[in-house]
Amino acid sequence: MASCLLSLLMDLPRRALVVLVAGLVAGLALCTPAAAADRSALLPPSMPLTVRVPVQDTAIRGNHPYFIDLLQAALERGGQSPAIVSAVPLIGSQERLLRYLEAGEHIDVYWVGTAPDRERRLAPVRVPLTGGLLGIRLPVILPQRQEEFARIRSVEDLRQYTACQGDQWPDSDILEANGLPVLRINQFHVMYEMLRAGRCDYFPRSVIEVYAEVAAQPQKSFMIDETLVLAYRYPLYFFTSRDNIALNRRLEAGLTAMAHDGSLMALIETHPTTSPAFPLHRFQGARILTLTNPLLPQETPLADRSLWVPFPGVSAPIDSGQKTN
């Protein structure tokens, strides 16, 4: 059989043989991991780019629509070819999803808070998706503990209480680095169950995600303490795999343009998911507890003020050397 194939190849015209060999080489190139990950560089200009993102606990974590809409807008601003965001239902921890992304499996983009390890493994798009408001935290508490939390005036006071946080979230490391006790929990919905059961005392959530989350709880047994704010510099980025260079650059171009022309801030203020946090001036007079973030990468774009949303009573930028109260 091999001899027959060789004979057929020898009978082909020289030009046809060159085209055939070139096609085989191109096909093999598409099979490499890097080429498979950087799919956007291989598509014809007229073919829509499908960008896969994970969706989990959509009934509870009501912030997904904002990030999906922002991703779609950034793709449109950052490139000429059409793009479609495809939500992929996935079950797994945050670390598992990061591994999928790192390997170029199942998903192409994931939005998470940054940390040095994540920036080593993955490619961040260093435009904070919520203007840095991920690090502005309001405690979710049980209503009967409102007066107790009203007496908290310093980080030292807060050290008497235990926070619910994700087992693999950098937030847990940040709180613990500031001497705050943390109950680490693997599943998101369990955190609210533990808070309800009294296993932890408060659940610090970002000002731009807490309102949708609490509203989505089946039992209206929680309150948001708007008079106490935990503040630390903690940008939330879109991440891609390190091989998906074209997609990463397209998102960077789109998000940078949106940040500089004000459309990113406009989306944060008006999107149904994030708009309940505004206007921010209503937090004027809140007790601000400033925390250090020892995980803040050196590459964080602190100098570009157009990327950060000012919050009343919080100096900007808060850097990794900031002292706690």
Write a three-state SS string for 13-62.
CHHHHHHHHHHHHHHHHHCCHHHHHCHHHCCCCCCCEEEEEEECCCCCCC
* Whether this model's pTM surpasses 0.85: no
- In DSSP terms, which residues pair with 202 in a beta bridge? 163
Q: d(Cα 40, Cα 248) in Å, to the nearest integer?
A: 10
Q: d(Cα 246, Cα 241) in Å, to the nearest integer?
A: 11
Q: d(Cα 120, Cα 101) in Å, to the nearest integer?
A: 13
Yes or no: say if 101 and 240 are a contact pair by the CB < 8 Å rule: yes
Question: What is the structure's pLDDT at 23?
Answer: 36
Q: Distance of CA 60 to CAs 40, 208, 209, 274, 277, Å?
A: 32, 15, 11, 15, 18
Which stretches within 122-244 are classed as H helix?
146-150, 155-158, 170-177, 188-197, 210-216
- In DSSP terms, which residues pair with 224 in a beta bridge? 140
Closest to 107 (Cα-Cα) out of 128, 85, 126, 127: 85
DSSP assigned state of 202: B
Question: What is the structure's pLDDT at 7?
Answer: 46
Question: What is the structure's pLDDT at 91?
Answer: 83
Residues 6+ apart with CB under 8 A from 243: 33, 34, 36, 37, 38, 104
Listed as ranges, residues in the chain with pLDDT below 50 are 1-33, 35-36, 58-60, 319-325
Which stretches within the chain are classed as H helix?
2-11, 14-30, 33-37, 64-78, 94-103, 116-121, 146-150, 155-158, 170-177, 188-197, 210-216, 245-261, 263-270
Yes or no: say if 269 and 65 are a contact pair by the CB < 8 Å rule: no
Closest to 136 (Cα-Cα) out of 323, 315, 321, 263: 315
Question: What is the structure's pLDDT at 47?
Answer: 82
CATH architecture of residue range(s) 40-130+235-276: 3-Layer(aba) Sandwich (3.40)
Look at residue 265 and give its three-state secondary structure: helix
Residue with tokens 């303490």: 225
Question: What is the structure's pLDDT at 43?
Answer: 53
Yes or no: say if 136 and 231 are a contact pair by the CB < 8 Å rule: yes
